[in-house]
Structure 1
C-alpha cells in the first residue's frame, strides 16, 4: 500500500519535486508532515507560499480520500525515487513526484512517441493520426497522448487496433476519465495492455490549468513528439514547446499543413528545423530503426466502377471479418505481421 507521506506530498502541488523530496527528508513521517502549518513549510523550503492558510488541511483530506480509492480500485502508484520510475521523465524540469496509473506501463526498452493535435480535427488529420498510431503500434513503439477528442483519440485508437501499447495522460485523477465520451476508448486502451496515467490524485476532477501541466508529461514520456493538425490556439502547441524545452525530437505531420485554417506555428516549427513527415517510416529512418518490410498502406478502394463497387466492398468486409483489414473513419487498413531487426541511433 502506498505510503501516506508520499500521497500527501504528491498533493502539495505548491511545491516543486525537489522541495517535496526535501520535505520528505526533514519530516520523515506523514504525521509530522500533516501537522505542519504554512509558516513552518516556508521556513523549511526557504521561500514564501502563495496559498491560503486553511488549504493545508484540505490537502490532507484529499490525500486521505485518495488513499481509500487506491486501496479499493486497484490504482497503482509510482513515486519519484522508485526504481521503475521512467528515466526519461525523471530528467525533465520539475518531474511529477508521483504517477498514478491504471493498466500497465511499458518497460521502455523502445522509445515512446507522442502524437498530439487539436480536438477539432479535420478528416484528414483524424486519418493521419489513426494511421500513425497504427503504424507505431505495429512496430512496438508506445504511443503517448492525452485522450482528448480528435487527434489524441485517433492516435490511441490506431495503436490499440494494431495491438500496440498506448498511454493516455490525463488532466484529472486516473479514475476520472475526461472527456466522459472516451470511457469506451479508455477501456480499450486498458484491454490492449496500455495505461491511463496521471500525476493527479485519484478522485481529482479535471481543471483547466491541469491540461497545460499534464502536457509536459506527454512529451516527457516520449523521445519524439508529432504534431498533427494543430491550429494557433491548440493545446498541442504547448506540448510542442515542452518537447523543445526537454530536448525531444519534434515532427510536423503534413496533414496539418493541408488542413484549412491558420497554421502559422506549424510553419514556424518547420522553419526552425522540425521535419515534415507523412508516416511513421520517416521517424524510423531518422532514429535508425531498420525495416525489413514497408509498413501497411491503406487499402485502395477508389477508381472502381459502379459494377465493381459491390464486389470490392464485399471483399473488404470479408477481409475485415477475417482480421486482415481494420476499418476506421471510413477507411480500411491492412494488418501486417512480420519481424524485423531493430536498432536505434542514440
Structure 2
C-alpha cells in the first residue's frame, strides 16, 4: 500500500488524527510497511487507547480504502496528502498540518499567492462595503482570496472576489458534503465553478461542530500569505485566525473602524497592538515582493478595451477613491474637456458613476 493510501486510510479511522499518525511514524520508523505489520505489534504501541488500537487493526484493509475512495469519487471530491507535491507548501510549515486535505475544485491554486479575509458574522454596512471593496481590488490584481464561507464578512469576501472574476478558496469546519451554513451551498458551488476551491480536513459525513471552526482557522492561516481582519468585535472568532497567523509568522492587516462601533473594537484594538492599518490594497501588497506594480494600481479584468487616457482616469479613481473632476485632472494631468469626455465614455461602459456634484467613483469598488 502506498504511503498516500496509508495516510488516507488512517485519516478515516476513528480516534486517529495528526498526533496519532505522528506517534505511529515515530514508533515504527515510518509507515511504508504499515499494512503488513502484525496485529500484536500495533497492540504494543504505548500511550494509545485500546479502542484506537482496535479501530486501526479492524479498518486497515484495502477493502475499506476502496470504499473511501469510491465515496470521494461519487461526491466529486479529490484529496491530497501531506506527502503529495500539490499539498500547500505553506501549510506544511505549521505546527499541526492535516495529513489529508479534501478538495472540491482547483487544487493547484492552493499554492498561489493569497490573502485571507475574515471578520464578524454580523457585519455593519461599513464592514460589508470593506469586504467587497478589498476582495474585488485584490482579486482584480490576481490575488486569491481565502475565507471560511461563514455568514457575514466571509461570504462577502468570497462574493467580492467572484464578482471580480477572481479565484477564491473556502475552508470549511465540516466535511465538503455537509457544508455549513446550508444557505451558502450556492456560494460553494459558485466558488468551484469559477475556478476556486473548497477545502477541509474532515472525512465525508462529518457535521460541523463548534470545536472544528478554530481548527479550520489554522488552515486558513496556514495556506495564506497574510491575514486581513476586515471588521471584528472584541471577542470575534475571527481573531482566532489572527492568533494562528501570529504563530505562523504571517503578516496581519486590519481595517480601522468607527471608534463608537462595537463591531470595530476588535480591529481597532489589534491595530494598537501592532497589526498594520490598511486603507487601500497598496498597504497590503507593498509588504510583498510580487508582481504588483505601484505605477498601475488598477487592472480592469473584464473584456473592455480602454485607451491609455481612460486607464489613467481609472487608475486615479482606484488609488484615491471617489474624486471630484478637478482632482482627476490634477492626478492625470489631462485637460478638463478631455476628462469630461473620458468620464462620459467610462459611464457608458459601466465602469464609473457620477455620485453628484461632479464626483466620480469606480463601480467595481462598490
Q: TM-score, length-normalised on structure 1? A: 0.76
Contact 1:124–1:259 (8 Å) recurs in 2: no
Are the counterparts in 2 of residues 110 and 140 from structure 1 also a CA contact under 8 Å?
A: no
CA contact (8 A) 1:63 1:201 kept: no
1:234 is paired with a residue whose SS is: coil
TM-aligned CA distance change 1:24 to 1:207, over 3 Å = farther
Residue equivalent to 1:122:
124
Structure 2 match to 1:277: 278
Aligned counterpart, 1:223: 225
Report the CA distance shift for 1:85/1:135 in structure 2 as closer, same or farther (over 3 A).
Answer: same
Match of 1:343 in 2: none
Q: Which moved more, 1:65-74 or 1:129-138?
A: 65-74
The answer (yes or no) to whether the contact 1:133–1:159 under 8 Å persists in 2 is yes
Cα distance in 2 for partners of 1:24, 1:112 equals 37
Corresponding residue to 2:17 among 13, 16, 36? 13
Question: In the aligned structure 1, how far is the partner of 2:275 from the partner of 2:224?
Answer: 16
**CA apart distance, 1:209:** 1.0
User: Size of the alignment, in residue pairs?
Assistant: 311
Residue among 239, 243, 246 paired with 1:244:
246
- Cα distance, 1:125–1:29 mapped onto 2, change above 3 Å: same
The answer for the alignment partner of 1:344 in structure 2 is none
Residue 138 of structure 1, CA deviation: 0.6
Asked whether the equivalents of residues 231 and 263 of structure 2 are also in contact (C-alpha less than 8 Å), the reply is no
Which residue in the other structure is 1:260 paired with?
A: 261
Counterpart-to-counterpart distance in 2, 1:132 and 1:158: 8
- The 1:5/1:106 distance shift into structure 2, 3 A limit, reads closer
Offset of residue 177 of structure 1 = 1.8
Offset of 1:22 from its aligned partner?
4.2
Partner in structure 1 of residue 175 of structure 2: 173
| Secondary structure of 2:113 counterpart | coil
Q: CA deviation at 1:203?
A: 2.4
Distance 1:53 1:78, change over 3 A: closer
What is the CA deviation profile of residues 253-306 of structure 1, one whole-angstrom value per residue up to 9, with x for unaligned ones?
124x5572165543442233211112222111232432332336589699xxxx
- CA drift of 1:248 comes to 0.3
- CA–CA distance in structure 2, aligned partners of residues 60 and 120 of structure 1: 45
User: Which structure: larger Rg?
Assistant: 2
Look up the SS of the partner of 2:179 in the other structure.
Answer: coil
Q: Which runs of 5+ in 2 are unaligned?
A: 299-313, 325-344, 354-360
Q: Which residue of 1 aligns with 2:101?
A: 99
What SS does the aligned partner of 2:262 have?
coil
Cα distance in 2 between the residues matched to 1:207 and 1:245: 24
Q: 1:109 to 1:71 in 2, by over 3 A?
A: closer
Q: Note the alpha carbon deviations across 1:150-175, whole angstroms, 9 max, x for none.
A: 00001111111111111000011122
Q: 1:141 aligns with which of 126, 139, 143?
A: 143
Give the secondary structure class of the aligned counterpart of 1:231: coil
* CA–CA distance in structure 2, aligned partners of residues 59 and 258 of structure 1: 56
Distance change >3 Å, CA 125–CA 106, structure 1 → 2: farther
Partner-residue secondary structure (3-state), 2:170: strand
185 and 316 in structure 1: CA distance in 2 versus 1, 3 angstrom threshold: farther
Specify every segment of 5 or more residues in structure 1 that has no aligned partner in the other structure, as ranges: 303-314, 327-331, 337-346
> Does the CA contact (< 8 Å) of 1:101 and 1:196 recur in 2?
yes
